[in-house]
């Protein structure tokens, strides 16, 4: 099943996916074993989330004997990019800079991360505009454009 663009992954589903992304492929028992220290889920709870992820198309399920082997249908990088794009599609474009700055202020970053971000900003600065246009319909934001 192909992943539909509008399908979103819940925080609990993302926990399952993080295990699968790390292991490459996993059984439901593998997933439960990894998450039981972090979550107090019963195996049935994890299996419910796994089933939802298969139905949504995020996980692939291959039968092997009396169990299934699960693998990711989407990479972690693509998943994170999709989530970020969704976030920025849902806010006024005029708020994008502040939102990014707020995220940077809260995120733990290495020196290498800061260098990468600085390189992106240096490149972005070459093509920056004086004012970002609002993308909202009237009554949807407080930017005073409407």
pLDDT higher than 80, residue 3 = no
Fold classification of 11-72 (topology level): Arc Repressor Mutant, subunit A (1.10.10)
Tell me the whole-structure pTM to 2 decimals. Answer: 0.81
**Tokens representing residue 86 in the block:** 């969704």
Q: Domain-by-domain residue ranges, the chain?
A: 11-72, 92-141
**Tokens representing residue 80 in the block:** 């994170």
Strand-by-strand arrangement of the 67-72 sheet: 25-26, 67-72, 59-64
Query: What average pLDDT does this structure show over 17-36?
Result: 96
> Could you tell me where the DSSP H helices lie in the chain?
11-23, 28-35, 43-56, 76-89, 96-106, 111-126
Q: Read off φ and ψ for residue 8, nearest 5 degrees.
A: -115, 155
Tell me the pLDDT tens digit for each residue of 43-80: 999 999 999 999 999 999 999 999 999 999 999 999 99
């Amino acid at each position: 099943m192909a992943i539909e663009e509008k399908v979103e992954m819940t925080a609990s589903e993302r926990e399952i996916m993080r295990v699968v992304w790390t292991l490459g492929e996993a059984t439901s028992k593998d997933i439960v074993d990894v998450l039981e220290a972090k979550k107090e889920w019963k195996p049935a709870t994890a299996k419910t989330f796994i089933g939802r992820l298969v139905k949504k198309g995020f996980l692939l399920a291959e039968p092997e004997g009396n169990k299934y082997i699960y693998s990711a249908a989407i990479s972690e990088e693509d998943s994170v990019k999709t989530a970020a794009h969704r976030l920025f599609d849902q806010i006024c474009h005029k708020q994008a800079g502040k939102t990014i700055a707020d995220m940077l202020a809260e995120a733990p970053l290495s020196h290498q991360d800061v260098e990468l971000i600085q390189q992106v900003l240096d490149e972005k600065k070459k093509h920056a505009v004086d004012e970002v246009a609002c993308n909202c319909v009237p009554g949807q934001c407080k930017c005073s454009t409407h």
